[in-house]
Structure 1
Amino acid sequence: MGIKRGNPREGADNVQTGAELARQAELDREMPEQLVARARTEGLNLVGENGLLKGLVKLVLEGALEAELSEHLGYERGDRAGAGSGNSRNGTSKKTVLTDVGPVDLEVPRDRAGSFEPQIVPKHTRRVEGFDEAIVSLYAKGLTTGEIQAHLAEIYGMEVSRDLISRATDKVAIELDAWRQRPLDRVYAVVMIDAIVIKIRDGAVANRPVYIAVGISLEGERDVLGMWVGSGGEGAKTWMTWLAELKNRGIQDVLIACCDGLKGLPESIQNIWPLADVQLCVVHMVRASLRFASTKDWSVLAKELRQVYTAVNADAAEARFAEFEAEWGDRYPALIATWHRSWEHFVVFLRFPPEIRKVVYTTNMIESLNSRFRQATRRRGHFPTEEAALKVLYLVIRDRRPNQPNVTGQTRNWKTAINTLAGFYGDRVTDNQ
């Protein structure tokens, strides 16, 4: 059998092509460094009216438009193949588009038949892809439309109307609506409900609670399930409406629901999911009860209450609380009454081993999310509408994990926890994994 030998010239061409590609890649890497070096040497700006980046964007966009037209016509500029083809180039038209580096003046090529439909910069488009995203990113950081307008004018030299900014952020409302209606899992191991207070104008500016429901799926993923703006006086009827919304979106069972004892909420949870164990957030309970005590006693009271909620079981907790009541009951009867009213839903987590208690005894899992919410809302002062507030909060959630906008993370040591839960809840866990 003979050996087939390649053409030596073909090998040389391949080597040459590889070298050219390597050189091109090197040039691509060097271009940003060269732009910065030139800007420093010549005292030029990278952005702004005469910035180098604007010139580069202009070259790239016009080059892309020219390539699109060549593909549309079927021949390159100057190619004789175009003679008698029935369509040809017909000069250019001027167009200004808004980009991430400022307004760029383009020469858009035309064809005589008027059939050219560019895709890079479509007809009637006044801003290129990425510009709206830049506006939304600033909006998500808590900037008002006026501040975004001033920022674009200062940094990029753009004069952008507030109406254009509003239209860009209006797209978020459509996305938010779809997100709030998306299907949910059939069973959640844990659902936690907490609230953050923000200022919203409703005639007058007032503090309004925004309730956030976060679920831990049977796979251990923490999902933001929903958000609702309240009036501050929510009762069982309102909670039933919101929880029924979650059920209609797919949640048929919840193993453990953790909340802070909001009026009507524990009862509503058990009406919607009768098998759910309702656990009151211990941290909220301690904070709420300490309001009835003198601040000078807070550290001692908190230390002694810790012995109650870290007891080995419900009986031990009850015995320790009896001692606490004997010591402090005469001085702070309202504090003691707070624990008595909540005792039924407080002791739920004490029947679980430590790996489950860590997950369900507090809603602090939502605190890191609330912290990012506060950063985004603090600088705005107040929101003009409920929808405006929800849009910013949604963007905070979305921008943390763009590919999974509702997922906020994985619960630690979940394999151990879910196996323990399976021991307590049986086929409610095993049949839905």
Structure 2
Amino acid sequence: MVLKLYEKGITTREIADLIEKMYGSHYCATTISNMTQVVEGQVAAFHKRHFTESSFVCLFIDATYLPLRRKTVEREAVYIAIGITASGDKQILDYQIVPTENGEVWSELLGGLVKRGISNVQLVVADGMVGLESALERSCPQAKFQRCLVHMSRNIFKKYVLVTGRPLCLNSSRSIKQRQNLRHKRLWPPLLRTGHLTILE
């Protein structure tokens, strides 16, 4: 329980107070801190692990903002890299947390993966993020780059589709992508006729 609360960003003093109120047992903040050092050791080992057999042919990389507690709770950028093997297996390779999104983080993250054994990546899938292109040229020059279709669809629908029609358009878009036969593109005309798909000026 202590570790779960700590992972959620609860301070050691707050955890000690919660345990005392719930179970009647008192733990000082120092004791809680000693318990949480187990997690910190696991995190450090995760960031340093070496990939002896790099079988990842594709990297999916992205950044998202999550509320994190330091002195106060602020939303910070979490950069993450996921490796995908030729058989489709996925594994989180590494992540970094920084206050704001910037290109140097991608260089550090990707460069670190290469030093730890990630090589022969053939494809990188990501959104058009700041500084990513130059970071890829330095760390994965052999890899081709593909814009993430999910991000691309969201950007297009946000700009050109009315709010009420976005769920239907997203579902239809997924259906089209999953079908190999191009004749299924006929799904789009009904959307235009119903007024769900509207080009906004």
Partner of 1:279 in structure 2? 146
Structure 1 residues 296, 179: CA separation in 2 closer, same or farther (over 3 Å shift)? closer
- Give the one of 181, 193, 205 matched to 2:48: 181
CA contact (8 A) 2:77 2:101 kept: no
5 Å-filtered alignment, 1:311-326, equals 312=180
5 Å-filtered alignment, 1:95-244, equals 135-140=2-7, 143-184=10-51, 185-200=53-68, 205-217=73-85, 221-235=89-103, 237-244=104-111
Partner of 2:195 in structure 1? none
Which structure is larger by alpha-carbon Rg, 1 or 2? 1
Amino acid at match of 2:102: E
Shift of 1:167: 2.2
Amino acid at match of 1:190: C
CA contact (8 A) 2:110 2:136 kept: yes
Once the two structures are superposed, residues 244-303 of structure 1 have per-residue CA deviations (whole angstroms, 9 ceiling, x without a partner) of 011111111212222233233245334321222323221221112222243134246446
Aligned length, in residue pairs? 191
1:245 aligns with 2:112: yes
TM-score (norm 2): 0.73
1:260 aligns with 2:127: yes
Q: Which has the higher strand share?
A: 2
Amino acid at match of 1:260: D
Amino acid at match of 2:56: Y
SS at match of 2:122: strand
Amino acid at match of 1:148: I
Shift of 1:331: 3.2
Query: Matched residues in 2 for 1:137 and 1:150: separation?
Result: 15
Once the two structures are superposed, residues 13-60 of structure 1 have per-residue CA deviations (whole angstroms, 9 ceiling, x without a partner) of xxxxxxxxxxxxxxxxxxxxxxxxxxxxxxxxxxxxxxxxxxxxxxxx
Query: Matched residues in 2 for 1:300 and 1:156: separation?
Result: 49
Which ranges of structure 1 fall in alignment gaps of 5 or more residues?
1-133, 334-433
Partner of 1:289 in structure 2? 156
CA RMSD, 1 decimal: 3.5
Structure 1 residues 331, 154: CA separation in 2 closer, same or farther (over 3 Å shift)? closer
Query: Matched residues in 2 for 1:270 and 1:312: separation?
Result: 32
- Percent sequence identity over matched residues? 27
SS at match of 1:254: coil
Query: Matched residues in 2 for 1:239 and 1:332: separation?
Result: 34
Structure 1 residues 232, 291: CA separation in 2 closer, same or farther (over 3 Å shift)? farther
SS at match of 2:15: helix
Once the two structures are superposed, residues 203-259 of structure 1 have per-residue CA deviations (whole angstroms, 9 ceiling, x without a partner) of 764311212212124565432111111333322x33122110111111112122222
Query: Matched residues in 1 for 2:5 and 2:68: separation?
Result: 20
Query: Matched residues in 2 for 1:191 and 1:158: separation?
Result: 47
Query: Matched residues in 1 for 2:80 and 2:143: separation?
Result: 19
Structure 1 residues 138, 305: CA separation in 2 closer, same or farther (over 3 Å shift)? closer
CA contact (8 A) 1:282 1:309 kept: no
TM-score (norm 1): 0.38
Query: Matched residues in 2 for 1:213 and 1:200: separation?
Result: 19
Query: Matched residues in 1 for 2:9 and 2:97: separation?
Result: 18
